[in-house]
Chain A
Amino acid sequence: DVKVTQSSRYLVKRTGEKVFLECVQDMDHENMFWYRQDPGLGLRLIYFSYDVKMKEKGDIPEGYSVSREKKERFSLILESASTNQTSMYLCASTSQGIEQFFGPGTRLTVL
C-alpha cells in the first residue's frame, strides 16, 4: 500500500515557537505538497516541491518555509508560530500528477 505519513496527528504549540511538521512518502514520488485546510476555505496550497532541494511557493506561503533534503521527506517549518496558523496541515505526494496521495493530516493548535 502506498503511504504518506505525517509526524504528528495533533500538535499544540505556543506563539513564537518554531514548529516543524514532517512528511514522509515511500512511493519514490518526485512531487510533494503542503496544504492547510480551514473551515469554509477548503484546501489551500502553501508550498510544493518537484525535486530534492527544489521548492515553489503556493497560494499562501507567508509565515512558512520548507525543506526537502531527501526525496522521501518534505518538511514544513513555521519560523515563529502565530495563532492564525492554527489549522489542519495536509501533506501530499504524486509522481505523474494524476493521483495525489495524502497523509492523515496534522491538527496544529497555536496558543
Chain B
Amino acid sequence: DAKTTQPPSMDCAEGRAANLPCNHSTISGNEYVYWYRQIHSQGPQYIIHGLKNNETNEMASLIITEDRKSSTLILPHATLRDTAVYYCIVRVGYQAGTALIFGKGTTLSVSS
C-alpha cells in the first residue's frame, strides 16, 4: 500500500469549510484513496473514498488531483462534532484478508 503524509493538526472555525490535505505521491493506478475519522473515545468511522474522480456524499467531498498524487477532504460547514482525527489511507479496493493501515492522521479542532 502507498504511504500517505498528512499534517499532524489543523484548526477550523465552526461554520467554515475544513480542507484536510493528504499527499500520496507513490500511489499506484489501481489504488483508492479512503478517508476515515475517529472522534474521541469512539471507533474509527468511514467517510468517503475515490479512485480518480471527485466524490461527494452526505458527510464530505473528496478532491483528487489529476496526477492522483494528492487529495483533499472537504467538510463544507464544519461543526464542533467534526472535531476528530482524520485518516487518509491508500490501498487497492479489495484484497481478501487484508487490513487497513492507519497512519497518525490529522487532528482537526473545530472551535466556535
Contact = CB atoms under 8 A, between A and B. Distances in A.
A50 B41 contact: no
Nearest to B32: A98
Interface in B78-112: 93-105
Interface residues of A, number: 27
Interface stretch (A14-22, A70-78, A99-107): A99-107
Contact of B43 (A45, A48, A104): A104
A50 B97 contact: yes
Q: Which secondary structure characterizes the binding site on chain B?
A: loop
Interface string A35-56: 1000011110100101000101
A108 interface: no
A102 B101 contact: no
B97 A48 contact: yes
A58 B103 CA distance: 15
Contacts of A50: 96-97
A31 interface: yes
Contact of A43 (B41, B44, B49, B97): B44
A97 B46 contact: no
A92 interface: yes
Interface of A: 4, 30-31, 33, 35, 40-43, 45, 48, 50, 54, 56, 58, 90, 92, 96-105
Interface of B: 36, 41-46, 49, 93-105
Given A100-B36, A101-B46, A105-B41, 4 more contacts: A40-B104, A90-B44, A100-B46, A100-B99
24 contacts: A30-B96, A31-B96, A41-B104, A42-B103, A42-B105, A43-B102, A50-B96, A50-B97, A54-B97, A56-B97, A90-B43, A90-B44, A96-B94, A97-B96, A97-B98, A98-B49, A98-B93, A98-B94, A99-B49, A100-B44, A100-B100, A102-B43, A102-B44, A105-B42
User: Top 3 A-B pairs ranked by shortest CB distance?
Assistant: A102-B43, A50-B97, A97-B94
